[in-house]
Chain A
Amino acid sequence: MDQVIDLYLNDKAVKAKWEKFLLKLGLHNFSSREVANIDHTLGLVDDDGTLVGTGSIAGNVLKYIAVCNQNATPGSRFNQIVTALQQYQFNQKIFHNFVFTKAKYSASFQHLGFSELAHTDEAAFLESGTPDVQDFLKAIPRVTGQEQKKVAAIVMNANPFTLGHRKLVQLASQENDLVYVFVVATDASLFRTSERMQLVKAGTADLTNVIVVSGGDYLVSQATFPAYFLKTPDDLIITQTTIDARVFKNIIAPALMITRRYLGTEPFSHTTNFYNQSLTNELTPKVKVKVVQRFSNRDQIITATHVRQLIKDNQLDQIAPLVPQTTMAFINSQQHILQTRIKKGMNINGN
C-alpha cells in the first residue's frame, strides 16, 4: 500500500531525489521563482520506499504534481496525492484551490471535480472547491437593463491610483454606460490590497457609472498570472497572459455583459506590454479592446512606478501633479508606513 509522506525540499538530498523523479516524468522547470514559493510538498512512496508520486502547494495553487503508474491501477496514485494535497489545504482552512497544469492533464483533474476555467494548446487552468468563479460573479453588482447597455472593463493594480489611472477611467466612463474597474487582488505591491481598493474608490467616487470591484482570483491574480508579480521568461508570460485573457473573455465578460476593455499603453513594463498584446489578440472581436495612450503631465508620462520611486526618495512634493488629491492625502498621511515597507525590502520596481 502506497503511503503519503512529507518531503522537505530544503534538504538537498530530498530535493535532488524529487527533481530526478519529476524530470523522469517530463517536468523540468526548477527555476527559483517556481520553487521558492512552494509552501509544502508531499510524496507518495510504495512498499519498497521508492518515490512514486509527488505534489506541492504554493498558496492556493497546486503544482508539481506527478505520479508514476507502474504496477498501480491507473489514476489511483494521482487521486491519492491530490486528495492528500487537498486535505493539507483544508487543514489550513483553504477550501478553494487552483491548478495550472499541462493541457493533457486537464481531464485527470476534471475527474476529481476540478472545473476548467481556460486552456491553451500547452496549459490548462482549473479550480476546485468553494467559493468558485460563479460565486465571484454573483457577488458583483449589476445595474438594471445591463444587457442593453454599453459596458466596459478596466483591470488595474493601482499601486497607487494615479492621474493616469483616473484619466483612463474617466474616458471609459464618458464613452460607456457602465464601467467595471477591477482592482488586482493579490497582495504583492507596496500599497496593500485594501489600500489600493480604497484609493480607486475615493479617486472615482464622482463618476456615478463606475463600479469598483476586486479582481479576486480571476483577473491578474497570483493564480492566473504569477508572471505579473515576478520576473519571468517570455514563453511563460505568453502562456499566462493567454490564460488570463481567456478567463476574462469566456467567463467574466459574458456574465457581466462586458463588450469593451480599456488598456493603458505601458512604455516601461515588459510584462504589461506582452499582456496588452495577448489581450488584443485574444479578446477581439468578442470584446473590443481600446488601447489608450498614456497620459502625461508637463511632458512627463504618469506611472505608478515613478510615484513609488518619489516616495522612496522622500520627494513627496513632486507627487502632487501625478496623483488625484485623494491619493496625495493618503500618501501624506501614510508616508512613514510606506517608506518603512520599502526599507524592509518591498520591491517598488514591479507593476
Chain B
Amino acid sequence: MEIKTIGVAGTLESSDIQIMISQGSNGIQIDLDSEVIKAYGDQIKKVITDTLNRYGIDNAKVKATDKGALDCVIAARTLAAAQRATETTDKPELEVLQ
C-alpha cells in the first residue's frame, strides 16, 4: 500500500494516542512519546507495526504521542491514520484490527 499524504488520527487526551503517518523508505520507523514507555514502549510499537503490516504498509515514518491508550485503541488509531495516509478511507478494512 502506497502512502500518498500525511495521515493523522487520535487526540492528546488521556487514554488516547495520536498517530501521525508519513512516507518512509526504511521499514516502519516509530518515534514514540509516552509516559509509560519503559513498561509498554515495545508493546505499543509492536501493535503499531503489526497493524501497519497487516494493512500492507512496510515503509512508513510514524510519530506516536501516547497518553495511556489500550492496545485496541492504538490499533484503531493506527488503522485510521493509515487509511488517511493512503487515501483509502472510502474502503474500510476493519478485519485488519482482528
Binding site for B on A (CB under 8 A): 73, 76, 79-80, 82-83, 86-87, 90, 93, 95, 111-113, 129-131
Interface residues of B in 1-45 (CB under 8 A from A): 5-6, 8, 11-14, 18, 20, 22, 33, 35
Contact B67 A79 (CB under 8 A): yes
Q: Is B51 an interface residue (CB 8 A)?
A: no
Contact A113 B13 (CB under 8 A): no
| The one of A86, A93, A95, A130 that contacts B12, using a Cβ cutoff of 8 Å | A86
Closest to B61 in A: A130
Roughly how many angstroms separate A188 CA and B61 CA in the complex, as a whole number? 32
- A86: which B residues are within 8 A, CB to CB? 8, 12, 18
Contact B6 A113 (CB under 8 A): no
Contact A131 B13 (CB under 8 A): no
Chain B's nearest CB lies how many Å from the CB of A104?
A: 19
- A87: which B residues are within 8 A, CB to CB? 11
B interface size (C-beta, 8 A): 16
Roughly how many angstroms separate A129 CA and B35 CA in the complex, as a whole number? 18
> What are some 16 contacts across the A-B interface (CB < 8 A)?
A73-B14, A76-B13, A79-B12, A79-B67, A82-B12, A83-B13, A83-B18, A86-B12, A86-B18, A95-B8, A95-B22, A112-B65, A129-B20, A129-B63, A130-B6, A130-B20
- B12: which A residues are within 8 A, CB to CB? 79, 82-83, 86, 112-113
Closest to A75 in B: B14
Roughly how many angstroms separate A111 CA and B12 CA in the complex, as a whole number? 9
Q: List the 8 closest pairs (A to B, CB-CB), nearest first.
A: A113-B65, A83-B11, A95-B6, A83-B12, A113-B33, A79-B12, A112-B12, A130-B22
- A131: which B residues are within 8 A, CB to CB? 22
Roughly how many angstroms separate A79 CA and B18 CA in the complex, as a whole number? 12
Closest to A84 in B: B11
Contact B20 A95 (CB under 8 A): yes
